[in-house]
Amino acid sequence: MGRLHVCDHPLIQHKVTYLRDKTTETKQFRELVDEISTLMAYEATRDFPLTTAKVQTPVVEAEGRIIAGRMVGLIPILRAGLGMVDGVLKLLPSARVGHIGLYRDEETLQPVEYYVSLPTDVAERELIVLDPMLATGGSANAAISILKQRGCKPTKLMCLIAAPEGVKAVQEAHPEIDIFVAALDTHLNEHGYIVPGLGDAGDRLYGTK
Ligand code: PRP
Ligand code: URA
């Protein structure tokens, strides 16, 4: 069973509080999503395997450690997942980025697919799916299924705010996925919004509505 990691570093918790604040304007909201994504990437890469490498310092030849293992692919779920990409790329600058476009039907809360574009070598990469909000889990589950249908093995899902309902849905549908969240909130309201949440992440990132 994949694990739920709540990234409770004080810097992350501090920034999430300002992210939730309804008076936080688009510019600052975008900056906070970017910064929190960088900090979470640090946590989500903690298990990356290392190998030894020789390094010539100005003094002697020494043995250092470098990252081994598979190359990384980032898969933001459009639109809101796009806001997390640059923050993660700051720590993983060689990662390739694939895009999955999904929107949640406001009535049924079911995800509707409208775009998929993935790197050609996506199946060989360690994939991290990015989306700030994990509400019912429908969008994350659909994105992970789309990747699996194309022969990929996504291993991680990184979200800023999650509802317990969404975590449970992903753990049931895709039990191998490790889920990283900055905050685990209490519940979903009758409109499928996370409570206390931060409202509509896409609208707050892009100033729509
Ligand atoms: C939001 C969010 C997730 C989804 C979460 O996207 O970014 O993708 O809702 O809800 P779920 O867990 O119930 O599926 P939205 O559909 O609003 O699209 P947007 O990113 O284009 O604004
Ligand atoms: N999508 C959002 O952007 N916010 C929520 O609270 C739920 C789904």
Closest CA to 186 of 161, 164, 158: 164
CA–CA separation, 178 vs 43, rounded Å?
12
Q: Distance from the CA of 93 to the center of ligand 2, in angstroms?
A: 28
CB 29 within 8 A of CB 36: no
Report the residue among 33, 82, 136, 139 best suited for mutation to probe ligand 1: largest number of ligand atoms under 8 A from its CB: 139
Tell me the pLDDT of the chain (209 aa) as tens digits. Answer: 779 999 999 999 999 999 999 999 999 999 999 999 999 999 999 999 999 999 999 999 999 999 997 799 999 999 999 999 999 999 999 999 999 999 999 899 999 999 999 999 999 999 999 999 999 999 999 999 999 999 999 999 999 999 999 999 999 999 999 999 999 999 999 999 999 999 999 999 999 98
- Compute the Cα dihedral for 196, 197, 203, 206 and give only its sign: positive
Cite the active site residues.
104, 108, 200, 203
Q: How far apart are CA 173 and CA 168, in angstroms?
A: 9
Ligand 2 site, residue 206, Cβ cutoff 6 A: no
Give the integer Cα–Cα distance in Å for 29 and 31: 5
Task: Output the pTM of the full model.
Answer: 0.97
pLDDT of residue 134: 98
Q: Which ligand has the nearest atom to the CA of 82?
A: 1
Where in 118-203 does DSSP place strands (E)? Answer: 126-130, 133-134, 154-162, 178-184, 187-188, 194-195
Closest ligand by atom to 191 CA: 2
Any residues with Cβ below 6 Å from ligand 1, and which? 77-80, 102-104, 109, 111, 131-140, 166, 192, 200-202
Give the distance (Å) from ligand 2 centre to CA of residue 172. 20
Q: Own/partner pairs for 188-193, CB < 8 Å, 24+ apart?
A: 188/135, 188/136, 188/163, 192/104, 192/109, 192/135, 192/136, 193/135
Contacts of 195 (CB under 8 A, 6+ apart): 163, 185, 186, 187, 188, 189
**pLDDT reported for residue 189:** 97
- Both tokens of 134, joined, read 């994990």
Pocket test residue of 30, 77, 99, 104 for ligand 1, highest count of atoms within 8 A of CB: 104
Residue 178 near residue 170, CB atoms below 8 Å: no
The two tokens of residue 64 are 């250092």
Give me the pLDDT at residue 73, please. 97
Q: Which residue's CA lies nearest to atom 5 of ligand 2?
A: 193
* Cα 174 to ligand 2 centre (Å): 21
Q: N- to C-terminal Cα distance for the chain?
A: 39
